[in-house]
Structure 1
Amino acid sequence: MSHFKSRPRPPEWIVEVGIGTCHMIGSRRRPVSRDEARRLLTEGLHTCTHYQPDTQLHIID
Structure 2
Amino acid sequence: MEQGLDGRQAVYVHVGGCHLAGKRSKGVQRDQALRALTDGVDACPHCRPDSELGYLE
The TM-score, its normalising length taken from structure 2, stands at 0.70
> How far did residue 40 of structure 1 move?
0.5
- Select which of 10, 27, 37 maps to 1:31: 27
Structure 1, residues 7-53: CA drift from partner, whole Å, max 9, x if none? xxxxxxxx110231122221111210011101111111011001110
- Select which of 34, 37, 40 maps to 2:36: 40
Structure 1 residues without counterparts, runs of 5 or longer: 1-14
Q: Bigger radius of gyration, 1 or 2?
A: 1
The TM-score, its normalising length taken from structure 1, stands at 0.66
Structure 2 residues without counterparts, runs of 5 or longer: 5-10
User: 3-state SS of the aligned residue for 1:20?
Assistant: strand
- Poorly superposed stretches of 4+, deviation over 3 Å: none
Whose relative contact order is higher, 1 or 2, with alpha carbons under 8 Å and at least 6 apart?
Answer: 2
- Select which of 16, 22, 33 maps to 2:2: 16
Q: Distance in 1 between matches of 2:51 and 2:36?
A: 14
**AA partner of residue 20 (structure 1):** Y
Identical positions, percent: 36
